[in-house]
Amino acid sequence: MNLAIFDLDNTLLNGDSDYNWGLFLAREGLVDQKIHQAMNEKFYAEYNSGKLDIYEFTEFQFQFFKNNPRKLLDKLLARYISEVAEAMITKKARSLVAEHRDNGDKLLIITATNSYITKPIGNLFGIDDLIGTDLEEVAGEFTGKVKGIPSFKEGKVDRLNLWLKQKELTFENLERTFFYSDSQNDLPLLRIVSDPVAANPDQVLEKEASKNKWPIIFLR
């Protein structure tokens, strides 16, 4: 059996789901637009340059989840998925997922974005298995803290290994392991799979892919 792993933001999606969630909240008047936009831009730039402090980011991003009841959050998320996220999915991304599904490959999304937002996006692709940065919950409400290991940089490797163990799988009993990503932040995982693919790569990843003769594809 093969395992096909997909990054989400700027890979399967034409855009970043975390960044656009912030824009959505600002448009709805649910956060201070000027302050939130400035912080959103700051963290997005740090992510793209490979310098993001994931814990500093989640402390900022998770405040909204902490300060609002789950019932309201669920309603907002449903609107965000239908009004924003669904439009970010490209035909090429759907075709790539369908190609692996038709081949009988096991499918997995792994993303640094929180799993609360991204799980329903994965469902739009028909992918049930998703690893994201998890939010801590108490009595069904979010605390604003990270639960476990953030799935970011080397953390994606750690989280993938935990997931494989839960599924009673190993790299050794998988025939091929594909990983599609756009970001230099995913180099730790790209370097350990059998079939790394640079999808819509940033400049650092494109250079690394060219050096290592990894395939480069564009899904937009």
Alpha-helical (H) ranges within the chain are 17-27, 33-48, 54-61, 63-66, 70-83, 91-102, 115-124, 154-166, 187-190, 203-212
Q: Is the pLDDT of residue 78 over 90?
A: yes
Q: How many residues does the chain have?
A: 220
* Structure-block tokens of residue 112: 């640094």
**In the prediction, which pLDDT does 34 show?**
87
Banded model confidence at residue 92, pLDDT cuts 50, 70, 90 = very high
Give 163-185 as a DSSP string: HHHHTT--STT-S-EEEEE--GG
Q: What is the number of other CB atoms lying within 10 angstroms of the CB of residue 77? A: 18
Query: What is d(CA 11, CA 41) in angstroms, rounded to the nearest whole number?
Result: 19
**In the prediction, which pLDDT does 40 show?**
84
Of 7, 18, 105, 202, the catalytic one is 7
Indicate the residue type of 10: N
Whether 16 is a known active-site residue: answer no
Q: Is the pLDDT of residue 32 over 90?
A: no
Name the average pLDDT for the chain: 96
The continuous run of DSSP H or E covering 108 comes out as strand 106-114
Indicate the residue type of 212: N
Query: What is d(CA 185, CA 15) in angstroms, rounded to the nearest whole number?
Result: 16
Whether 202 is a known active-site residue: answer no
Q: Is the pLDDT of residue 115 over 90?
A: yes
Least confident segment among 39-53, 129-143, 199-213: 39-53
Q: What's the pLDDT tens digit per position in 143-199?
A: 999 999 999 999 999 999 999 999 999 999 999 999 999 999 999 999 999 999 999
Give all domains of the chain, ordered by start, each with its CATH number: 3-217 (3.40.50.1000)
What is residue 91's three-state secondary structure? helix
Of 9, 105, 182, 186, the catalytic one is 9
* Structure-block tokens of residue 113: 């974005």
Q: Is the pLDDT of residue 108 over 90?
A: yes
Query: What is d(CA 60, CA 54) in angstroms, rounded to the nearest whole number?
Result: 10
**In the prediction, which pLDDT does 33 show?**
84
Percent of the chain with pLDDT over 70: 100
Strand partners, 6: 109, 180
* Structure-block tokens of residue 160: 């993938």
How many C-alpha atoms does 218 have within 13 Å on its Cβ side?
3
Q: Which long-range contacts (CB under 8 A, 24 or more apart) does 84-88 make?
A: 84/20, 84/21, 84/24, 85/13, 85/17, 85/20, 85/120, 85/121, 85/124, 86/124, 88/13, 88/14, 88/15, 88/17, 88/20
